[in-house]
Amino acid sequence: MFTFNTLLVPIDFSPPSLAAAEQAVALAGGEEPMVILLHVIDASLIEFAASHELGERESLAQRMRARAEQQAEVLRGRLAGRVNVQAIVCEGVPFVEIVKKAEEFLVDAIIMGRVGTRGSLEKLLFGTTAERVLRGTSRPVLVLPHRG
Residue range 12-51, pLDDT digits in tens: 998 889 999 999 999 999 889 999 999 999 988 888 777 7
Q: What is the pTM of this model?
A: 0.88
DSSP string, 41-64: EEHHHHHHHHHTTSS-HHHHHHHH
Tell me if 1 is assigned to some domain. no
Q: How far apart are CA 88 and CA 39, in angstroms?
A: 6
The CATH number of the domain holding residue 83 is 3.40.50.620
Residue 57 CA to its chain's centroid (Å): 22
Average pLDDT of the residues of the chain: 87
Domain count, the chain: 1
Domain residue limits at 35? 6-144
pLDDT along the chain (148 residues), means of 10: 89 92 94 95 83 76 94 95 94 96 98 67 57 94 81
Q: How far apart are CA 8 and CA 119, in angstroms?
A: 24
